[in-house]
Structure 1
Amino acid sequence: MKIQAIREALTARNLDAIVLTDEKNRRYATGFHSTAGALYVSHKQAVFYTDFRYIEAAKAQITDAEVREIGPGRSYVGVANTLLREDGAAKVALEDDCLTHADYLRWSDSLCAEAVAQGDLMNTLRTVKTQDELDKIVCAQRIAERAFEEILSEIKPGVSEREIAARLTYLMLHYGAENMSFDPIVVSGANSSKPHGVPSDKLIESGDFVTMDFGCICDGYCSDMTRTVAVGSVTDEMRRVYQTVLDAQLAGIQTARAGVTGQAVDGAARQIITDAGYGDCFGHGFGHGVGLFIHEAPNASTRSEQPLPAGAVLTAEPGIYLPGRFGVRIEDMLFLTDDGNRNLTLAPKELIVL
């Protein structure tokens, strides 16, 4: 099914073939994970090349493409040229957004057909999730939520940010994650004003906000969630900021649906934060797409003028950050539909004071 979708995209762009070398694009098209390989797709054939380490598993798992072993002394450029000549292909697309500049030039100079940038071809295809892809994202999210539920009992004064990050990693792996979507962010107190702060040896103190941004991978697909909890007590201002972020998130969620621009979704949340007097403290976008990549299309930010597509998974993660004092971010994942969205995140998000 995905090979056919790639072929239809080639037709729409007047291309004869595409060569996919990026692991995630190869996995999207074939369902097969390997550190080495190249997938060639044209209107006439689809061939997956890999080396001896993966050939048996690839043949057992890949059904929509012919699987061939590349063999010692052969290059992926070389086998691609053989296939291009067989097809009489004149234009072949390359992953300009995944290859290094040097690799892109090397492929372009070596191919026997005109190499063109694939642009947004694969990004656009990956945006709309199949039910199988959605199930894997939900699987990853449930693992992350189970880890979150368990970690709450371990967040207390005297425990370091780094310890909580390590425990989150362990718990997600323990409950079945393939890997982390990204290195967990765990920041507390004044550190929580840094949206992408790095866990440190700082000890959690009573009166701190602790922000945890984390996710894991299930069969190649990512989850992403953020929760901010308080330890011991909160001030009136902390409670007000938390409620403002939650209200902003709910406003964005209420607006998010297929056909609405990402800019409009971001604006609905941003207006709540601005009206509360914290407009300058929300410096990133409302959300981003999630799938095989932790950040992929579509986006919801002040610059996102394109309508959101049905079938995309979009994060909902507004935040307020007061430098040197504290920060709050709350993040869910939404599955966009024509008439709204389905929130894939089940973890509670009312203010938790531990």
Structure 2
Amino acid sequence: MITPSLEKLRQKIQAENLDAFLVTQMENRRYLSGFSGSSGALLITADRQIILTDSRYYQQVGQEAPEWELAEAGYDWPGYLAENLAGFGLHQAKIGFEAEAVSVAAFNKWREVLTDVTLRETSGLVMALRVSKTADELTAIRKAVALADRAMAHIYQWIQPGMTEKQVAWELEVFMRAQGASALSFETIVAFGPNTALPHATPTDRACQLGDVALIDMGCVVDGYCSDITRTFSLGEPADSRFMEIWRLVFNANAVAAAAISAGTTSLAADAYARDIIKAAGYGDYFGHGLGHGVGLAVHEAPKVSYTSEDAIPVGAVITIEPGVYLPGDFGARLEDMALVTENGLEILTGVPKIDILFR
């Protein structure tokens, strides 16, 4: 069965006045075909869909994408395509490609060998299809979120003073993989004390002490789909008297935004629901990043939920809500949930509690 998404893409290809389309971005390849290999390209025409890849993946294509043709292209699929243009019915064709996924060096190589076609750059044709999730995609995302919830709940029980950031990050990875994750969504962020003021801190050998702020941002991949969650807490009574003020501010900003966003809300407006609260409290300069982002096959994908975009957030998108305040040299706080966008508001998918003080 050819998926509805592939047929919708064919309509877009036709609307762009293209004869064929190359898909090289990894998540887009998987979304359209089911093929999860790390190398290759999809070649889509009006009546054919072909996977060009190397010998590492010939059997895998048959298993994951049985309704796609396999082109045994070896390690030089552009050269293979150039030699077989006539067989694909693409002599002097107009072929589109994903400009955002192709380096200048790769494009120059394509242009050198594909001299009998016109290469035409496009942007966002497949990503636009991926934004609103199908029922099957939501099932996988819910599994990934549930596993991340269990992992965070485990850390709430397991963490003790004296443990290092690296130890906690490793414990999370072992737990999630043992419970069925195929990978991490991204390199886990575990930060203690002043390191929590770094929004994307890298785990170090710093040990957590009673009174330290701890920030944990993590997620996992289940059935190809990602989760993403952040929790911030003080291990024992906070040493910094400002912690509870900041934590409650971020908690409130998260809750207000989550209650206000629905399908059709612009990214700019969604971001403002949280940002205006933080600004009003005098901490606007300490919330530098956007409110959130889409999550799916990639942990960061469309739609943006940010002051940098005025696009409307569509029904069926899965997004994060993650306001934060970061006081350089002291501490930071971020609280992040994943949510499904519906006509009537957000369905919060993340279930693990937000805890301000974790007593030990």
Match 2:137 to one of 117, 133, 140: 133
Q: Which residue number in structure 2 is paired with residue 77 of structure 1? A: 78
**CA shift for structure 1 position 335:** 1.0
Could you say what the CA RMSD is over the residues aligned between the two structures, in angstroms?
Answer: 1.7
**CA shift for structure 1 position 258:** 1.4
Deviations 1:123-178, CA, capped at 9 Å, x for gaps: 21221211111211111111111111111223221111111111111111111111
CA contact 1:17–1:89 (8 Å) conserved in 2: no
**CA shift for structure 1 position 276:** 1.4
Q: Which residue number in structure 2 is paired with residue 16 of structure 1? A: 19
CA contact 2:165–2:190 (8 Å) conserved in 1: yes
Q: Which amino acid aligns with 2:24?
A: T
Match 1:342 to one of 342, 347, 354: 347
Secondary structure at 1:80 match in 2:
helix
**CA shift for structure 1 position 33:** 1.1
2:148 aligned with 1:147: no
Give the Cα–Cα distance (whole angstroms) in 1 for the partners of residues 220 and 292 of structure 2: 18
Q: Which residue number in structure 2 is paired with residue 253 of structure 1? A: 258
Deviations 1:161-212, CA, capped at 9 Å, x for gaps: 1111111111111111111111100011111111111111111011111000
Deviations 1:301-351, CA, capped at 9 Å, x for gaps: 111111111111111000011111111000011111222121111111142
Q: Which residue number in structure 2 is paired with residue 313 of structure 1? A: 318
**CA shift for structure 1 position 36:** 2.7
CA contact 1:3–1:64 (8 Å) conserved in 2: no
Return 5+ residue gaps in structure 1 as ranges.
none
Q: Which residue number in structure 2 is paired with residue 285 of structure 1? A: 290
Give the Cα–Cα distance (whole angstroms) in 1 for the partners of residues 49 and 215 of structure 2: 46
CA contact 2:268–2:308 (8 Å) conserved in 1: yes
Deviates more, 1:139-148 or 1:326-335: 139-148
CA contact 2:98–2:124 (8 Å) conserved in 1: no
Q: Which residue number in structure 1 is paired with residue 37 of structure 2? A: 34
CA contact 1:321–1:328 (8 Å) conserved in 2: yes
Secondary structure at 1:86 match in 2:
coil
Give the Cα–Cα distance (whole angstroms) in 1 for the partners of residues 60 and 274 of structure 2: 47
Q: Which amino acid aligns with 1:275?
A: A
Q: Which residue number in structure 2 is paired with residue 52 of structure 1? A: 55
TM-score by structure 1 length? Answer: 0.94
2:198 aligned with 1:194: yes
**Percent identical:** 39
Q: Which amino acid aligns with 2:152?
A: F
Deviates more, 1:62-71 or 1:202-211: 62-71
Distance 1:89 1:351, change over 3 A: farther
CA contact 2:236–2:357 (8 Å) conserved in 1: no
Deviations 1:207-258, CA, capped at 9 Å, x for gaps: 1110000011112211110001211103552111111101101111122221
2:124 aligned with 1:120: yes
Give the Cα–Cα distance (whole angstroms) in 2 for the partners of residues 21 and 264 of structure 1: 33
Aligned length: 352
Deviates more, 1:7-16 or 1:329-338: 7-16
CA contact 1:16–1:89 (8 Å) conserved in 2: no
Give the Cα–Cα distance (whole angstroms) in 2 for the partners of residues 337 and 12 of structure 1: 29
CA contact 1:227–1:330 (8 Å) conserved in 2: yes
Deviates more, 1:328-337 or 1:236-245: 236-245
Deviations 1:64-108, CA, capped at 9 Å, x for gaps: 42223235xx73113434257514563211122122210022113
Q: Which amino acid aligns with 1:347?
A: V
**CA shift for structure 1 position 118:** 2.1
CA contact 2:156–2:358 (8 Å) conserved in 1: no
Q: Which residue number in structure 2 is paired with residue 300 of structure 1? A: 305
Q: Which residue number in structure 1 is paired with residue 184 of structure 2? A: 180
